[in-house]
Amino acid sequence: MNIKVLRQAGWLLLGVLAGGWLVAGCATAARRQAAPPPPEPCLRVLRADDGTLALQVAVRRLLPRSGRGPEIHLVGASHLGDANYFAQLQQRLDAAQLVLYEGVGGRPEKPVPGAPPPERASLQTSLAHALGLVFQLEAIDYDRPHFRNSDVSVEEIRQRLQATEAGGGELQNLLQIMDGSSFMGALLQAGVRLIGSSPRLQATFRVVFIETLGQLKGDLTRAAGLPPALRDLMTFIIHERNQIVLRDLRTALAARPAPRSIAIFYGAGHLHDLESRLTAELQYRPAGDEWLSAFSINTREAGLGEAELSMVRGLVNWQMNVLQRGPTADQKPETR
């Protein structure tokens, strides 16, 4: 198996959990003024004394610097989480007057309770179930009058990519991996099923994903170790989708009367760029975070010893160094 292909698959799994990739660059403010500070991370790891590790995602409140205008909530999502996490998200989304949400292809269809599972589940659904979690589309009810899809269709993405260097072929490869119809997709699905077959593996991979996602900060697409084709593709896709969110947001802000509160419900990987645009282009400022635990694992109850946890953290740190700096001949994982 080609190592480059396996590494690309690893980045894909990371993107599945993070909710997309962070996009490079942001527009310059129209007026000359001091640039706003870069956004704070919207993912973190909570470490409790009883051995519990939890991945937390921020719900960030932003207010207009002028004091006039609606408040905006950047509601990040990990796409996979505990049922209680999505229940908390639903409450916060229902409290907003307008929700702009991601969903390539339109309003998601919530699975019908008791209906037989699809013949071939998506990678995201399979990974959620293997980790003992819930997939976002299974848990969030989008059938609300104040929910507005703020995204593109797959066909729109494909058409726009035809003229780019990344090309529609890379998108097709990605879609086939996600739905399991390609060899790499089938291979990842098999690996995911293996995780779900063992409580110990399930616990270990929860730790892996919590520790990995908790280290994601800033602009991931600038990372030297991200495969160039995947970086180009994801940068293009995220940039286009974020532009649509900003377009719809400007329309909502210009309405009379404007909504008192607007929630932007997108994967956590989108929020760094979105917040940069809100502060630089629309003159908003962050005004506080609420941290929600997406999922957790009690390492002691799972029987994971300190030696195993140190090994996992060492491997994660090594992989993140490869991601940020690119692979070098002398890099080796540290297990401490």
- pLDDT, one tens digit per residue, over 234-255 is 777 777 889 999 999 999 999 9
Asked, for residue 102, whether it belongs to a domain, the answer is yes
Q: Could you tell me the residue range of the domain that residue 280 belongs to?
A: 3-22+42-109+122-325
Q: 170 CB contacts (<8 Å, ≥6 apart)?
A: 161, 229, 230, 232, 233
Cα(206)–Cα(133) distance, rounded to whole angstroms?
A: 10
Could you give the 3-state DSSP secondary structure of residue 265?
strand
pLDDT at 10 over 60: no
Provide the pLDDT confidence category of residue 169 given band limits of 50, 70 and 90: low
Q: Helix (H, G, I), strand (E, B), or coil: what is residue 304?
A: coil
Residue 63 pLDDT level (bands cut at 50, 70, 90): very high
195: confidence class by pLDDT, cuts 50, 70, 90: confident
Any domain includes 93: yes
pTM for this predicted structure: 0.81
The pLDDT score that the predictor gives to residue 193 is 84
Q: Is residue 310 part of a domain?
A: yes
Q: Per-residue confidence at 311, pLDDT binned at 50, 70, 90?
A: very high
What is the pLDDT of the chain when averaged over all its residues? 80
d(CA 132, CA 206): 9
Q: Looking at residue 241, what is its pLDDT?
A: 86
For residue 155, count CB atoms less than 10 angstroms from its CB and return exposed for 0-12, middle for 13-18, buried for 19 or more: exposed
Residue 168 has pLDDT above 60, yes or no: no
Q: Give percent of the chain with pLDDT exceeding 90.
A: 48
If pLDDT is split at 50, 70 and 90, which confidence band does 22 have?
Answer: very low
Backbone angles phi, psi at 55, to 5 degrees: -85, 120
pLDDT bucket at 27, cuts 50 / 70 / 90: very low
The answer to whether residue 333 is domain-embedded is: no
Please compute the mean of the pLDDT values over residues 173-197 and round it to a whole number. Answer: 70
Give pLDDT, residue 78: 87
**Dist CA 90 CA 176 (whole Å):** 30
Residue 35 domain flag: no
Q: Is residue 157 part of a domain?
A: yes
Position with higher pLDDT, 27 vs 41: 41
Reduced DSSP (H G I as helix, E B as strand, rest coil) percent helix, strand, coil of the chain, to 5: 45, 15, 35
Burial 95-132 (b: 16+ CB within 10 A, else e): ebebbbbbbbeeebeeeeeeeeeeeebbbbbbbbbbbe
- pLDDT of 154 > 90? The answer is no
Residue 14 is predicted with a pLDDT of: 58
Residue 279 amino acid letter: T
Q: Is 34 contained in some domain? A: no
Angle (CA) 245-249-255 rounded to 5° is 150
Is residue 7, in this structure, part of any structural domain at all? yes
| Mean pLDDT, rounded, for 125-150 | 94
Average pLDDT of span 59-75: 97
Lowest mean pLDDT among 8-17, 71-80, 154-163, 198-207: 8-17
Number of domains in the chain: 1
